[in-house]
Amino acid sequence: MTATKAPTEPPPQLRTVRRPGDRVFAGGAKGSGIFILLVLAGVAAFLISEAIPALTAPAEDIPDGEGLASYIGPLILGTLLGAVLALLVATPLSVGIALYVTYYAPRRIAAVMGYVIDLLAAIPSVVYGFWGLAVLAPALVPFHVWAADNLSWIPFFAGPASTSGRTMLTVGLVLAVMILPIISAIAREVFSQAPALHREAALALGATRWEMIKIAVLPYGKSGVIAGAMLGLGRALGETMAVAIILSGGAGATVNLISNSNPSTIASNIALRFPEATGLGVNTLIASGLVLFVITLAVNMLARWIVDRRADFSGAN
């Protein structure tokens, strides 16, 4: 050992050679990485540059004639309303699904069940729109009527009930189905990573399965579930086609979930109006897209920050 170590100073001719091939390849790899950062910056830059005419235009030139704020305001409300509704429905369901797949389902078919849930994520959003319009909306009409009759003291169910079911409530439920696989995939991962020693210790002390999950799994997976929910929220905020097909939107700001007049969402408004828009209309739509970009970027960065913080933690286990 000592013999091979003897020449401590490497002779100068043995220094690492930087071959041109190496330099080109490393440069290409690094360049691609930087290019991705540039693309993200470019998304922001090009959106801003195309949105500026709408930001600086006088209020009466904006479509609807009342200025940018009152044009985008109801859209933001509609976007948040649908996405938050989806989140409220999807998060508890996803946690349940994740627990079922990780700790309740028979071992042999658990993997298959996880795969089946993942299939929900593979279905294109336009097909969800078709399904929501043709199946879910008519199926929910009785519930709309019931809610208008019995729950109208809650502002969300003020009514009058829609007869077509093409409401924010239906949209929220379709969005919930679309983000289920996202949240449950992440929840599944963190639940399955819960330290086996903690779980076995809980069971050895006589805990039932649910007590074991309450003690050992849920505290460990909490931040993962929160991050997954945030990612799902980001997805729901930006969802376009399903909303554009189902919602009969376009009315002003209202939180009424079950009537025919709903605020549209930013993304679906763009999809519906963009093909026919001209001039300043295009700039206005791009300005609303910029708002959506900023909102989803903030939500996603927060989610990733939570995930990364958790990754630092779990190294200790």
Q: Which of residues 42-81 bind other proteins (CB under 8 A)?
A: 42-43, 46-47, 49-50
What is the closest distance, in whole angstroms, from the C-beta atom of residue 152 to other proteins in the complex?
21
Among the listed ranges 67-75, 156-164, 189-197, 228-236, the one in contact with other proteins (CB under 8 A) is 228-236
Calculate helix-pair angle for 68-99, 218-238, nearest 10 degrees: 140
Query: Which residue from 294, 234, 244 is spatially nearest to 265, judged by alpha carbons?
Result: 244
What's the chain's Rg over C-alpha atoms?
A: 26
Residues 185-214 that bind other proteins (CB under 8 A): 208-211, 213
- By beta-carbon proximity to other proteins, the closer residue of 228 and 254 is 228
Among the listed ranges 40-48, 67-75, 147-155, 255-263, the one in contact with other proteins (CB under 8 A) is 40-48
CA distance 53 to 37: 26
Q: Considering the rule CB under 8 A, would residue 177 count as an interface residue with other proteins?
A: yes
Q: Would you state the structure tokens that stand for residue 75, as one six-digit string?
A: 């859209």
What is the closest distance, in whole angstroms, from the C-beta atom of residue 197 to other proteins in the complex?
19
Residues 254-293 that bind other proteins (CB under 8 A): 267, 270-271, 274-275, 285-286, 289, 292-293
CA distance 281 to 285: 6
> CB count, 10 Å around CB of 41?
10
Q: Which of 202, 239, 259, 262 binds other proteins (CB under 8 A)?
A: 239
CA distance 288 to 67: 12
- By beta-carbon proximity to other proteins, the closer residue of 62 and 285 is 285
- By beta-carbon proximity to other proteins, the closer residue of 256 and 283 is 283
Q: Which of 64, 149, 200, 308 binds other proteins (CB under 8 A)?
A: 308
What is the closest distance, in whole angstroms, from the C-beta atom of residue 174 to other proteins in the complex?
8
- Could you give the angle at the alpha carbon of 240 between the alpha carbons of 237 and 243, nearest 5°? 90
Residue type, position 197, single letter: L
- By beta-carbon proximity to other proteins, the closer residue of 10 and 21 is 21
- Give CA separation, 149 vs 136, 154, 168, 173, in Å: 20, 11, 18, 21
Q: Considering the rule CB under 8 A, would residue 131 count as an interface residue with other proteins?
A: yes
Among the listed ranges 191-199, 216-224, 249-257, 294-302, the one in contact with other proteins (CB under 8 A) is 294-302
Task: Return all residues near 81 (Cβ < 8 A) that are at least 6 apart.
Answer: 168, 172, 255, 257, 263
